[in-house]
C-alpha cells in the first residue's frame, strides 16, 4: 500500500489518495505538429485527469470574425484529441489587438458555444505573434466522469 508521502517521489502528473489506494492520472500532451511547439516548448493541449487546457490559439482569416471562428475550430480539434468537446469547456480567454472589435469576436464565441456559456474573459493586447493576427483564444475544459455521476451538480443553485 502506498501513502501520500510516497507519492511525492513519483513523476506522475496527478496522484490522488482515495481510501487506502492511490490513483494516478497520466499526462496527455496533444500536438498539432506545428514547428513552434518544439521551438517554444509547449503543447497544443494538455490533459491531466478530467482537466484539459488548450494553449493560446490563433488562425488565419480575412476578418477578426473569420480568425475567431477558425481558432475555435482548431480548439475543438485539440479538445477532441484530448478526449473532450466544446460542451466540456468551462472557461475561455480571448485576446484581441483592437478592443473596439470585441462585439465581432463575442458574436462568434456566442454562435459556437450557444447554451454552453463558459466563463469568459476578453481583453486587449498590444500585439500577437504575427502582425496579421487579430485574436488569440485559450480554453479550459473539465471532462466529468460519466460512470459515477459524482461530478454532476446536485441541483439548481447548489
Give the pLDDT band of residue 15 (cuts 50, 70, 90): low
Model confidence over 19-76: pLDDT tens digits?
555 555 799 999 999 898 999 999 999 999 999 999 999 999 999 999 999 999 999 9
* Burial tier of 42 (Cβ tally within 10 Å: 0-12, 13-18, 19+): middle
Query: Is the pLDDT at 5 greater than 50, yes or no?
Result: no
Superfamily of domain 27-142, CATH level 4:
RutC-like (3.30.1330.40)
pLDDT on residue 149: 55
Per-domain residue ranges of the chain: 27-142
Model confidence over 91-138: pLDDT tens digits?
999 999 999 999 999 999 999 999 999 999 999 999 999 999 999 999
What is the C-alpha separation between 1 and 6, in angstroms, rounded?
Answer: 10
Q: What is the DSSP string of the chain?
A: ---HHHHTT---SEEEEETTEEEEE-EEEE----HHHHHHT--SEEEETTEEEEEEE----SSHHHHHHHHHHHHHHHHHHTT--GGGEEEEEEEES-GGGHHHHHHHHHHHHGGG--EEEEEE-S--SSTT--EEEEEEEE---TTT-TTS--STT-
Amino acid at each position: 500500500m502506498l501513502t501520500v508521502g510516497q507519492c511525492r517521489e513519483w513523476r506522475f502528473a496527478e496522484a490522488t489518495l482515495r481510501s487506502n489506494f492511490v490513483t494516478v492520472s497520466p499526462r496527455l500532451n496533444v500536438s498539432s505538429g506545428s514547428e513552434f511547439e518544439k521551438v517554444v516548448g509547449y503543447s497544443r493541449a494538455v490533459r491531466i485527469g478530467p482537466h484539459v487546457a488548450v494553449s493560446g490559439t490563433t488562425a488565419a482569416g480575412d476578418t477578426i470574425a473569420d480568425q475567431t471562428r477558425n481558432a475555435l475550430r482548431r480548439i475543438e480539434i485539440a479538445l477532441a484529441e484530448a478526449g473532450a468537446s466544446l460542451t466540456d469547456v468551462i472557461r475561455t480567454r480571448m485576446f484581441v489587438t483592437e478592443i473596439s472589435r470585441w462585439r465581432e469576436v463575442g458574436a462568434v464565441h456566442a454562435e459556437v458555444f450557444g447554451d454552453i456559456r463558459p466563463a469568459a474573459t476578453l481583453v486587449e493586447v498590444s500585439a500577437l505573434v504575427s502582425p496579421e493576427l487579430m485574436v488569440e483564444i485559450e480554453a479550459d475544459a473539465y471532462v466529468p466522469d460519466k460512470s459515477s455521476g459524482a461530478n454532476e451538480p446536485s441541483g439548481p443553485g447548489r
